[in-house]
Structure 1
Amino acid sequence: MSTELTEAILKYVALEKELLADGSDENASTVVFVTNKLLTIAALCDVGDEVGRRLLSQLASDMLVSAATSDVLLPALVDCIAHTHKKTNDRIDVVTGIIRELADDNNYRNTGGLDTSLVVDTETDIADFTADDRQFRSLAICSLFLEKTRRLNINHGEMSALIDNLILPGIQNHNTFIREQAIRSLGLCCVINPEFGRDYLLLLLQVAENDGPRIQLTAVKTLFDLLLVYGPLTLGVSSAHVESDRKREQQADVIRESMNNMSLMENDLEALGDKDTGENESDTEATVDTTIKTYIPILFNLLQSDTAEMRTVAAEGFAKLLHTNHLASHTVFAALMVLYFNPMSSDDQRLRQCLGVFFPEFAFATARPVADKSLAHQAIIERSFLQIMNTLLDAPRRSPLYEVNEYQVGAYLLYLTSPEQLNQNNPNYSSGASLFEAHHALAITIANECLHAAKDGDNYYMKLWSKLLNVIEIEHENQQLVKAMRVIIADLRKECNDSVAQKQLQRSAHQLADYDQTPDDWISRSDIEGLFDNLLKGLDRAFLDGVDEVLATTANTDGSVKRTLRARSVKAPTKTDNSDSEVASDGADESDEESESEADIQEADLDDPESTDEEMA
């Protein structure tokens, strides 16, 4: 590290001060840009020369404590500190020393206050922002320093004091930008060391629930980062952390009270540092249960947030958790699929791009082996199929989901579970019947829905399910399933009174007849029931997390099938005799003429028996 480079940086710093004093902001910005590049170069130079290393470290430290230093230079200055101090403990000592100087009024030279050009929100009143400029600068330096740290020793006295005296008071500050920096710093501490994550996870949850949108967004990102780095199991509350539970509850209460009152109480820090010496609770919940029951539902609710950015962050977080196998939940997958097809998200390009890439990657990627199988992701999609379809079919007229084309959604789910696509996109999958397990289970599900629709006389449902039945791929060698489906479709054709659905069922019957190697041999109904039970049991779902049971209440669904006729559907009359049926049919046609006209547009895809699933694929 040459002293000439350091001297050049000092010259530009002095020039910046002169230009600011003369009111030449445009030229000062140019000087700041050049200074930033010089500092970046300095952070890449060899520090073998001890004199040059100390000179650069001293220069960076002096600039960090100077109020005249622009915030644009902070990342480069912290890089210089990290470059000249390789050991983590040395960095902590230097950074805490800088923050200690910032806290001293005599050392902080007020030359115009904090440069807020990059952080000020135009909708926020910043009249009193410079009053907390030192605390903001200290937190900014702290967060930048933590970004350069891979491992943190929880027993380090300087770091513990930094959290207690800087970060936690910053969370209680009335200024939005200071609280945001404090949450970011606390989140980085938690990501670096899981012990911090366990200690302050409850505090982050309280902030994510009760603070303003800007702070909530930072807290939610931090929570998802923790789950991605360590997983729900590691961050759960275990018996070893019962003693710190009471401390975290006190911290959350203080922070919540501070956010409500927007003022700092004198005894806040004492309450934060107070350790209760009372008796600890004897029984605690299991680690994974605590994580699932406490944390996941709070984050799951964010998928229905009124803020588009919050929904996007939550969707990205859950997509990453599912893809990395930190979470196995068909309820979460169903919520992401519904959000993807929701017309309200059509303008959110980031959300649609994320989910559009996630679904094929999740469906066709090699999942973790479960019971010697590699189709865990396929089981999640299969399990979520009916939940997704029921959500769309039961949507009220005022809901944006009412306008969603259910066939396109169903066809897309069948595409994601297609054996052909599995084989093409991932040759590592095992060959044979395992590729067809998801479609075999979905064939049973759709056939069951067809039977319900025929029994209820719901032509709209019947056309939808019969068309989706044509997309199902059944293994030719599974003759028992082929024969069972032939029996089911034969029964459906007898019960169905809709011409469009009849054509769809006829196509399915012809296709199955081609697969049947012994068409004259039929299967009994008792054998069909046993076959269906075995097929559903064959798709191993034991890996699914208990999160679905918890989220059932949050999602207002228990996973069961709720048969409700769609408002736009035309219910066919109950069959009695021919004359009564004709009269009832005429009456139904007259009374429901308006309802049919309203449904013409949305049923257009179902009324065309020649259309195929190639459009969706």
Structure 2
Amino acid sequence: MLDILYAGLETDDWRACTESSENESVKATVGEGFAKLLLLGEKYPNLPASFYPFVLGKLIALYFSEESKEQLRFKQCLSVFFEHYASLLEKHKGYISKAFVPLIRSLWPGIDRNSKSSSYVVSNQRKRAVLASKFILQMMQTPLYKKETRHEPESQVNKSPEDSIQPPIDCTEEGLAIRIAIEMVSFKGKKTAAEKAYVAALCKILVLLNLKPSEQNLIKLMKKLLCRVAESVCSEKELLKDVKPMLEHLNSLDACPSEELSQDEANSIFEALGVSYDLDITAPATVPQTPAPCSTRPARSRRRARIAETSSDEEEEVASPPLSAMPAPNTLMTRSHRASKAAALAKITASRMRRSDADEDIEEEEEDVVSSDVTAEDSDD
């Protein structure tokens, strides 16, 4: 029966409501039914534990889907459900924590499936995934309802939160932090643009989690995991900038940095969270340095260096003009061009003058010849 109902969540039937306001789509009706089933889960002990985070993730995805915007009644129903579900029981926090990584991974474009959509659609999908991640974080940080008990002893009323029984690891924000860190470590080597954006979004959620200093084993394990994350993003300057502040915060929470976490303690934490991850505690982990940003200031030019050298020697300043007074290259090119034109004009003028002088010499010679001929004729007469 649950399989048949779940098939209703997978259908694409978001048809508009008819004239009767009571008529809702199949997906909205089935979603409301699953929400009630999750609230009344205590009455159905035969349901598997994996059922709750799986269905919870589907309901959150429906709540933030584009198709459900017109289903106002359905969204109002889910809004009330999420508010009460996160505050009702402590184990609900564990289901919320388990639903986080699979849900955000499925919503993020380019991770589980190749996204061939336009950049506009991809941007909207990322925004929707970020909203869903912040919504789950808000559910994790919502305080539980106080249980009302009759004739409660005064000693119990004045009991401090530190003296109360600690919740299981998988129901705490520390447990969610470890799940997120393991997901971030899984992306090794060179990352695609979608993977970079996904890891950056997870890191921003990780920073918002409230980690208790009393959980020293969890703090030390988180440090180990984030060192692995820092090693995997050492070539990504922006990602490394997001990871290092969280590492610094964990170092401030670590009461005994010299005390190492044992392999058995780490494995017991992973087992309590229900995650399988092979972490070698003994392997050395170093935090890489953040790559220095490239300077946008231009390098000091040789011309400026020469100016500094000449300014330190007064005698050279007197002997030769300062380089700052030298014309710019464009000015030099203009002047050389003008000088070549002047030289060419001078050559043309000189050649013309030589030609005119030669013509004058020829005319004078002709006049001399004519005059000599006339003189000879006169002497003959």
TM-score using structure 1 length: 0.35
Asked if the contact 2:221/2:266 (under 8 Å) is kept, the reply is: no
Bigger relative contact order (CA 8 A; separation at least 6): 2
Find 1:365's aligned residue among 77, 84, 88.
Answer: 88
Asked if the contact 1:436/1:473 (under 8 Å) is kept, the reply is: no
Closer/same/farther in 2, CA of residues 306 and 460 from structure 1, 3 Å limit: same
- Name the amino acid aligned to 1:337: I
**Following the alignment from structure 1 to structure 2, what is the Cα–Cα distance between the partners of residues 435 and 448?**
19
Larger Rg: 2
Closer/same/farther in 2, CA of residues 403 and 389 from structure 1, 3 Å limit: closer
Asked if the contact 1:334/1:388 (under 8 Å) is kept, the reply is: yes
Asked if the contact 1:441/1:535 (under 8 Å) is kept, the reply is: no
Closer/same/farther in 2, CA of residues 476 and 536 from structure 1, 3 Å limit: same
**Following the alignment from structure 1 to structure 2, what is the Cα–Cα distance between the partners of residues 451 and 313?**
39
- Name the amino acid aligned to 1:521: E
Find 1:332's aligned residue among 35, 42, 55.
Answer: 55
Q: CA deviation at 1:446?
A: 0.8
**Following the alignment from structure 2 to structure 1, what is the Cα–Cα distance between the partners of residues 214 and 248?**
17
Q: CA deviation at 1:298?
A: 4.3
- Name the amino acid aligned to 2:92: H
Does 2:206 correspond to 1:469? yes
Q: CA deviation at 1:460?
A: 1.8
Asked if the contact 2:101/2:183 (under 8 Å) is kept, the reply is: no
Partner of 1:351: 74
Asked if the contact 2:188/2:232 (under 8 Å) is kept, the reply is: yes
Partner of 1:566: none
Does 2:146 correspond to 1:427? yes
Closer/same/farther in 2, CA of residues 338 and 352 from structure 1, 3 Å limit: same
- Name the amino acid aligned to 1:434: P
Closer/same/farther in 2, CA of residues 469 and 403 from structure 1, 3 Å limit: closer
- Name the amino acid aligned to 1:474: L
Asked if the contact 1:363/1:378 (under 8 Å) is kept, the reply is: yes
Closer/same/farther in 2, CA of residues 383 and 504 from structure 1, 3 Å limit: same
Q: CA deviation at 1:489?
A: 1.6
Find 1:516's aligned residue among 237, 240, 254.
Answer: 254
- Name the amino acid aligned to 1:468: I
- Identical-pair percentage: 22
**Following the alignment from structure 2 to structure 1, what is the Cα–Cα distance between the partners of residues 222 and 126?**
32
Closer/same/farther in 2, CA of residues 432 and 412 from structure 1, 3 Å limit: farther
**Count of matched residue pairs:** 237
**Following the alignment from structure 2 to structure 1, what is the Cα–Cα distance between the partners of residues 211 and 242?**
16
Closer/same/farther in 2, CA of residues 498 and 298 from structure 1, 3 Å limit: closer
Asked if the contact 2:14/2:68 (under 8 Å) is kept, the reply is: no
RMSD across aligned positions (CA): 3.2
Closer/same/farther in 2, CA of residues 456 and 385 from structure 1, 3 Å limit: farther
SS in 2 for 1:357: helix
- Name the amino acid aligned to 2:146: P
- Name the amino acid aligned to 2:28: T
Find 1:318's aligned residue among 26, 31, 34.
Answer: 34
SS in 1 for 2:77: helix
Q: CA deviation at 1:392?
A: 0.5
SS in 2 for 1:475: coil
Partner of 2:14: 306
Closer/same/farther in 2, CA of residues 509 and 437 from structure 1, 3 Å limit: same
SS in 2 for 1:469: helix
Asked if the contact 2:97/2:170 (under 8 Å) is kept, the reply is: no
Partner of 1:452: 186
Does 2:90 correspond to 1:392? no
CA shift digits 1:21-42 (9 cap, x unpaired): xxxxxxxxxxxxxxxxxxxxxx
- Name the amino acid aligned to 1:296: L
Asked if the contact 1:392/1:404 (under 8 Å) is kept, the reply is: no
Closer/same/farther in 2, CA of residues 361 and 447 from structure 1, 3 Å limit: same
Closer/same/farther in 2, CA of residues 298 and 452 from structure 1, 3 Å limit: closer
Closer/same/farther in 2, CA of residues 456 and 531 from structure 1, 3 Å limit: farther
Query: Equivalences for 1:220-369 in 2 at 5 Å?
Result: 291-293=1-3, 295-302=4-11, 304-308=12-16, 309-310=24-25, 311-325=27-41, 326=44, 328-366=51-89
**Following the alignment from structure 2 to structure 1, what is the Cα–Cα distance between the partners of residues 128 and 238?**
17
Q: CA deviation at 1:319?
A: 1.1
SS in 2 for 1:433: coil
SS in 2 for 1:346: helix
Q: CA deviation at 1:432?
A: 4.1
Does 2:221 correspond to 1:488? no
For structure 1, which runs of at least 5 residues remain unmatched after alignment?
A: 1-290, 367-374, 540-559, 562-617
Does 2:170 correspond to 1:417? no
Partner of 2:170: 437
Closer/same/farther in 2, CA of residues 380 and 356 from structure 1, 3 Å limit: same
Asked if the contact 2:187/2:232 (under 8 Å) is kept, the reply is: no
For structure 2, which runs of at least 5 residues remain unmatched after alignment?
A: 17-23, 149-160, 278-381
CA shift digits 1:228-263 (9 cap, x unpaired): xxxxxxxxxxxxxxxxxxxxxxxxxxxxxxxxxxxx
Partner of 1:62: none
Asked if the contact 1:453/1:459 (under 8 Å) is kept, the reply is: no
Closer/same/farther in 2, CA of residues 340 and 461 from structure 1, 3 Å limit: same
Closer/same/farther in 2, CA of residues 505 and 518 from structure 1, 3 Å limit: same
- Name the amino acid aligned to 2:170: E
Closer/same/farther in 2, CA of residues 361 and 378 from structure 1, 3 Å limit: same
**Following the alignment from structure 2 to structure 1, what is the Cα–Cα distance between the partners of residues 100 and 15?**
27
